[in-house]
Structure 1
Amino acid sequence: MKTFPKLLIVLIVIITFSCNKSGKDTIILKKLVKKEIAELTISIDSNTVSNFYQAYPKLVSYQAEVLKLYKKQGSKQLWLDNKGLVEFGNTLFNKYRGLADEGLKANFPYDSIVNQIFDRISNNKLSQIDTDLMITNLYFYYASKVYHGVDEKTTTSLEWLLPRKKLNYQVFSDSIFHNSAINDSKKNKMFSQYYKLREVLKQYREIEKNGGWKAIEVSDDFKNFKLGDSAVGIAQIRERLFVTGEIKENTKSAVCDTVLISAVKNYELHHGKTPKNIILPEHIKEMNVPVSDRIKTIIVNMERCRWIDPKLEKDKEFIEVNIPEFKLYVIRDGEISFISPVVVGKAMTKTVIFSGMMQFIVFSPYWVIPQSIINQEIKPGMAKDKNYLAKKQLEWNNGQVRQLPGKNNSLGLVKFLFPNSNNIYLHDTPAKSLFERENRAFSHGCVRVAKPKELAVELLKGDPSWTPERIDKAMHAGKEKWYTLKKKVPVYIGYFTAWVDRNGNMNFYDDVYQRDESLIKLLTDE
C-alpha cells in the first residue's frame, strides 16, 4: 500500500486593502502558515474484527486470515487515508467487477454494500472500520475465487484426488500490498494452462457477442460430404470454420474443395476425432455445439486449473495422462519427449483422477486378478467350464488367481507401477484394436498404453545397460522381471475437456465421464 504525505501545506494569503490617514493604500500580507495534519490511523484489533463478523456472518470463513493480515500490518486500516479510499482499493474493486474475465460470477455476499463503498455518488453508510474490513474481505474473496477455486472437500466429492494447491494468503498478501497491484503480470501464480484458457475465453466471448455461429443444416438422411460435392451445407461449414479460425478466408463457396477438407481435418484433430478425408454427420454435430456450451467447457476447465499447483510443471521429468483426450505424455525439461494413445476405464470402472510416483517397470508380468473381477467373471466362468482357468492361462497362487506371463496376458508384456491405494497402473495390452477407436474408455480402471515398449525405452534412457534390444527381450522372456527406476517419476492422471496445446491450438474433448455438468452447475448456481 502506498505511503501518503503526512503534511498538508496550507497557504493563507490575505490581502487587505485599507486607507490610512495619508489616503494611501496599504497591502497587508500575512505570513505563510504551515498546518500539520496527522496521518489517518484507525485501530482495528481482534474485538473490532469479531464485531464485524457478527454483523456480516456470511464472511466468517475469512476471519482468521483477516485478523492475521491486520496484525501483520500494525492493526490499522489498509484501504483508507486522509483523502478517502486509496487507489489500490479501486483497483481491487475493478478486478472484482471483472471476474467474468476469469470465468467466474461476481457474487460477493454483500455485493450491494460494496457497491455503495465505491460508488462516489451514493452514500456509504458504513463506519470507517467496517468500510476497511469490508474491502479486506472483498480482497480475500477475490483471491480465494480466482487463485484457489472451490474448497478441497468439494473437489474430493467430485472425485478429484490430485493434490490441491495450497494458497498461502499471507505470502500472497505480501506481494500484493508490496507492489500495490493485484495483476499476476508474470503469470506464475497459476497452472500455466489457466492463462491460455483465459485468453481463449475472451475470444469465445467475443464470438458470442457477435452472434456466435449458425447451425449447419443437413438432411436427416445425410451420409457425408466428400471432395467435389456441392451443397448449401458445405458453404455453412466453411462459414462455421471461418468463425473459429480453421479457415482464414471465407470464400462462401458451396463446393467441397481441398481447403475445406484440410480445415475440417484440422478441426477433427482438435476435437478428439480421427481426421478423415470426408465430412461425416458426427463432424457436423460437433460443429453445431453452440458457442455458449463451449464457453461453459472453458470455464469448467479454468476452475480445474485453479486446483493444480504450478510447481508440478517445474519437475524435471513427469508423466501426464488426460483421460478425455485418451493420451499419455512424458514431459522432460519442460518439453514433450513422448506421446502415446491410451485406453482408460469405462464409465462403470472410471480411471481415478490422482497422482503417484512411478517406481517399478515389470517385464513379462503376471496379472494378479482383482477380487471384483474374480467374482464377476472368473467364478461364473469356472462354474460353466471346469477347464476355464487353464484355457485362460490362469492359476491359483497363495489364495489368489493370477494370469501367466505371455502375449495373451491382459497386462500385455510390460507394466509400469506407481504404488497407490487405487490399484491403478499403466500397462501393455493384447487388445491392440481398441487404440484405433476414437472413444477409448474400455478398461477396468487401469491405463493401457498403445506404445509400451517405446515408453519403457523413454523411461530407461538414463540407464545405458537397458538398450531397446534388452527391453524387447525382457518383454518376451515369459518370466517376470522387476526393474526399479533409479529416480521415481511423478505420474499425474487428470481430467480436462478443454486444453490449449503448445502450438496455441484450442482442443475440446468429449466429457467421457460426464463430469463437466456438475461442476458448471456448482460454479454458476452458487
Structure 2
Amino acid sequence: MFLSAIHPAKPSVYNNWTVIVWLILGLMFSPLSRSAEDNTTDPAMVEVISSLITSNRHPYLLHNDIYDQHEDIQALYQLNSYQLVWLKNGALDSQVDDVLALLANAEENGLNAQNYDGSYLARKWLQIKAGQDKSPQALALYDTALNIALLRYLSDLHYGQVKAHNVKLGADIILEQISLAGLIVEAAAQKKPSELVAKVEPVLPVYQHLKEALSKYRQLARTNDFHQFAFTQTLRPGQRDSQMVFLRELLTALGDMPELAETDAENGKLYDASLVKGVKNFQLRHGLGGDGVIGKSTVAAFNMPLADRVRQIELSMERFRWLPRVKEGSLIIVNIPAFQLWAYDSIGMETVPPLNMKVIVGKSLNKQTPVFMANMHFLQFRPYWNVPRSIVKEELLPKLRLNWSYLAGQNMELVNNFGPNATVIAVNDETINLLSRGLLKVRQRPGRLNALGSVKFMFPNDYNVYLHDTPTQNLFKRTRRDFSHGCVRVEDPEALAEFVLKSKDGWDRQRISNAMHRDNPRYVQLDNPIPVIIFYTTAMATADQVLFFEDIYGLDNPLIQALSRPVQKKTADTVVLTE
C-alpha cells in the first residue's frame, strides 16, 4: 500500500460534522459557561487570527508554516469567542506551564519534541513573564502559537505523524469523529490540559504496553554500554566462554533472567542452566525459536543497539495510531512479521492475558499478506476451498494438462461457479480450455486434504484474505513462517473458534470440535462482529514482555525516512510504508 507523508494527518474540519456542531454551539452559546463580559470578542485576537490565516506563517514558531493548522486554529478561536485560551486571566495566572510540560514530554509518547517548538515557546514564555512584551497583539500571538503546537502534537498522537491513505478499512468500520479544537478549549476551561493525551491516543492494550516498553528501553539505552559479543563458534549449553559474565549482565538488564549472586571467575564462564533459560527467553522474544543455542542470529540480536530497539517501538506506536480508535469489545490482531495472532477478550479492560498462537502469512517475495482492518461476521466449518484464479493459472493448469486426474487426486473438482448450487464438470481438453479462459472454476471439497482445514473465519475485505485452519501443521514448527499465498493460517483453530463463539449460546468446545471434524459444511453467524486487524510491526508488547521481529517485508526503513524528514517537508512525498 502507499502512504503519503503528510504532517499532520487529519480530516478537514469543514468536512467533520462533529466540528461543525461545536462551531454552531460555540457561536450561539458559551460552551464553557463564560460570563457575558468574557464572551466579548477581542479585536486584537481577531486581527492576529486574520493575519495568520492570510499569511499561513507564525512569527513565534520555528516551524512557522501553519497551513497544516489554519482551519483548526480558526475553529478553535471561534469556539472560544475569539478570546485568549491559555492567557485569559493574565499572563502570570495561566496554564501555559502545563501545556509546555505536555509538549516537552512528547518523547514519552514516541514523538519528536522538536516538532512542536516546545523549547522555543518555553523561552518565549520566560520573556513574556519577565515583562518584555505584554501587548494584546503579543499575547494573542503567543496564545495562538501555543495552540498550533498543541494541535500538531495532539494530531500526531491521534492520527499519526504520516497519513495512511490506504490502510484499508472494511466498509462497516465506524471511524470515531473527534474535534481537537473542541478538546483544547474544553481542557482549558476545566484546567486539565494534562488529560488531553489520554483523550486522543490509542486505547489498545498493546499500545499502552509499548508506551511502557519505550520508557524502559530508552532508559537502558541511555545508561548502559553493553558488551559486543563475538563467539568463534556456536555455543551450546554446558560449554564455557569468558563472555558469559557480560551475557548475564545483558539478560538481567533486559529482564530475561533474574539477577543472580556473583559466581567465581571459573564458574562465571560456564553456559549454565540459568543462562540457558535466559537465552531461551531472549530468543523467544526476538523471534529466534528458543532452542538455547547461541548462533549467528542470536549473537546479532545480542549486539543490536538498544537505540535501534527504541526506534522499533516508536515505529510500532506510530503504526497503531493509523488505526481507528477501537474502545471496547473483543479484538483480534495478526502481526505479520511476528507470525503470531493475539485475541483480546476486552479492549477496555485487559483482565486476562490475550489468546496467543502462531500463524503462517504470505510469502515475502511475491505473496505478501496485506495490511487492513475488517469486521469478522461469520465462521464456516468444513469449508470448500475456492481456488483463486492466480493459483489455477500458475500452479494447477500446467499439472492438469499433463494429467487429467490431478484434480481428483487432490480432492478437487471442476465447477461452473462457487455457489451452493454449483455443477460439477467433467475434466477433458474442452473443459480445461474453458478453465484456462476463466469460464470454469476449481474448488477443493471438505476433508483431510482441504487447504483451509476444517474452519475458516470470515471478515469480508477487498483482498479476499481470511483466517483458516490448515492440514500442514508441521510448518508451525518453523521459526520463520511466510509460506502462504496471502491468507493467514492459524495454529489452533479450535481455540480461536471457541474465542470467537464464546458469547453464542450452545457453542462449547465439544460442539466446535464436532463441527470441524464430523458435521456437514455450515455457516455460523456471529451475534456481534469482531474487529480483525491484519497488521505489520516489528515490535509488540504484552503486560509482561517486549517482543521484536525481523522486518520481513522491508517496511521499517521507508517509515523511518518519512518520520526523519523536517516537518515543513512532510507535504509532498509519497513512500511505501505498508504492503
TM-score in terms of structure 2 length:
0.75
Cross-structure match for 1:452: 493
Partner of 2:428: none
Corresponding residue for residue 255 of structure 2: 245
Match of 1:519 in 2: 559
Name the stretch that deviates more: 420-429 or 85-94: 85-94
**What is residue 16 of structure 1 aligned with on the other side?**
none
Aligned to 2:226: 213
Supply the AA of the counterpart residue of 1:512: I
Q: 1:276 to 1:81 in 2, by over 3 A?
A: same
How far residue 44 of structure 1 moved from its aligned partner, in angstroms, is: 5.3
Question: Residues 524 and 320 (structure 1 numbering): CA distance in 2 closer, same or farther, change over 3 Å?
Answer: same
**Distance verdict in 2 for CA 1:463–1:74, change over 3 Å:** closer
Deviation at residue 509 of structure 1 after TM alignment:
2.1
Q: Quick one: percent identity of the two aligned structures? A: 28
Q: Check 1:69–1:517 CA distance in 2 against 1; reply closer, same or farther (3 A cut).
A: same
- Does residue 550 of structure 2 align to residue 510 of structure 1? yes
Counterpart for residue 54 of structure 1: 54
521, 534, 537: which is aligned to 1:496?
537
SS across alignment from 2:404 = coil
Contact 1:358 1:491 in 2 (8 A): yes
Deviation at 1:321, TM superposition (A): 1.9
* 8 Å CA contact retained: 1:147, 1:167: no
Distance 1:143 1:519 in 2: 20
Query: For structure 1, which segment, 287-296 or 242-251, has the greater mean C-alpha deviation from structure 2 after superposition?
Result: 242-251
Q: Shift of the alpha carbon at 1:467?
A: 4.8
- 1:122 is displaced (CA, Å) by 10
Residues 319-374 of structure 1: CA deviation (Å, up to 9, x unaligned) = 22222222223322443463322111122222222222222222221111111212
Contact 2:369/2:486 (CA < 8 Å) preserved in 1? yes
Moved more, 462-471 or 415-424: 462-471
Tell me, yes or no, if the aligned pair for 1:43 and 1:77 is still in contact at 8 Å: no
* 1:346 aligned partner, one-letter code: K
Cα deviations by residue, 1:278-334 (Å, 9 ceiling, x for unpaired): 333322221111111111101111212323444x2411x332222222222332244
Deviates more, 1:200-209 or 1:434-443: 200-209
Which aligned pairs between 1:189-200 and structure 2 lie closer than 5 A?
189-190=200-201, 191=203, 192-200=205-213
Q: Aligned partner of 2:560: which letter?
A: I
Q: Which amino acid aligns with 1:314?
A: E
Counterpart among 392, 395, 400 of residue 374 in structure 1: 392
Structure number with the higher strand fraction is 1
Change (3 A) 1:464 1:133: closer
Query: Where does 1:316-395 land on structure 2 (aligned, <5 Å)?
Result: 317-333=330-346, 334=350, 335-336=352-353, 338-347=355-364, 348-395=366-413
SS in 1 for 2:195: coil
Q: Select which of 397, 419, 443 maps to 2:484.
A: 443
Report the Cα offset of residue 383 of structure 1. 3.3
Instruction: Tell me the residue number matched to 2:434.
Output: none
Q: In structure 2, how many angstroms separate the alpha carbons of the residues matched to 1:513 and 1:303?
A: 18
Q: What is the alpha-carbon distance in structure 2 between the residues aligned to residue 458 and residue 102 of structure 1?
A: 32
* Cα separation, 1, equivalents of 2:77 and 2:445: 66
Deviation at 1:46? 5.8
Flag the 1:55–1:212 CA change in 2: closer, same or farther, 3 A: farther
Cα distance, 1:110 vs structure 2: 7.1
Whether the aligned pair in 2 keeps the contact of 1:322 and 1:496 (CA below 8 Å) is yes
Partner of 2:278: 263
Superposed CA RMSD: 3.2
Equivalent residue for 1:131, pick from 138, 142, 150: 142
Distance 2:310 2:131 in 1: 35
Corresponding position of 1:11: none
Native 8 Å contact 1:327 1:339 kept in 2: yes
Change (3 A) 1:132 1:43: farther
Q: Residues 436 and 296 (structure 1 numbering): CA distance in 2 closer, same or farther, change over 3 Å?
A: same
Q: Read off the aligned partner of 2:309 and give its amino acid letter.
A: R
Between the aligned partners of 1:465 and 1:113, the Cα distance in structure 2 is 63
Asked if 2 retains the 8 angstrom alpha-carbon contact of 1:363 and 1:414, the reply is: yes
* In 2: Cα distance, 1:138 partner to 1:511 partner: 33
User: Hey, what's the Cα distance between the residues in 2 that align with 1:133 and 1:463?
Assistant: 53
Residues 29-87 of structure 1: CA distance to partner in whole angstroms, max 9, x if unpaired?
Answer: xxxxxxxxx99984356664231133344212212221222122121222335753553
Change (3 A) 1:122 1:206: farther
| Bigger Rg, which one | 1
Query: What is the distance in 1 between the residues matched to 2:490 and 2:335?
Result: 13
**Partner Cα distance (1:422, 1:381) in 2:** 26
Compared CA separation, residues 418 and 44, structure 1 to 2 (3 A): farther
CA distance in 2, matches of 1:240, 1:70: 52
1:131-169 deviation line (CA, Å, top 9, x unaligned): 332222122122222333235xx3235x46586665421
Distance 2:157 2:131 in 1: 29
What is the Cα deviation at residue 112 of structure 1?
Answer: 8.8
Quote the Cα distance in structure 2 between the aligned partners of 1:281 and 1:332: 38
The correspondence of residues 153-168 of structure 1 with structure 2, limited to 5 A, is 154-157=163-166, 159=167, 161=169, 166-168=177-179
**AA matched with 1:319:** I
Q: Relative to structure 2, which stretch is displaced further, 48-57 or 403-412?
A: 48-57
Worse-superposed segment, 375-384 or 454-463: 454-463
Q: Which runs of no fewer than 5 residues in structure 1 stay unpaired?
A: 7-37
Equivalent residue letter for 1:484: Q
Q: CA deviation at 1:412?
A: 1.2
Offset, 1:448: 0.5
Distance of 2:254 and 2:119 partners within structure 1:
38
> Structure 1 stretch 457-466 or stretch 381-390: which is displaced more?
457-466
Contact 1:405 1:478 (8 Å CA) reproduced: no
Question: How far apart are the structure 1 equivalents of 2:39 and 2:507?
Answer: 72
Of 249-258 and 58-67, more deviation after overlay is shown by 249-258
- Say if 2:457 is the partner of 1:416: yes
Gaps of 5+ in 2: 1-31, 58-64, 417-439, 567-579
Q: Which residue of 2 aligns with 1:27?
A: none
**Structure 2 CA distance for partners of 1:212 and 1:383, relative to 1, 3 Å:** farther
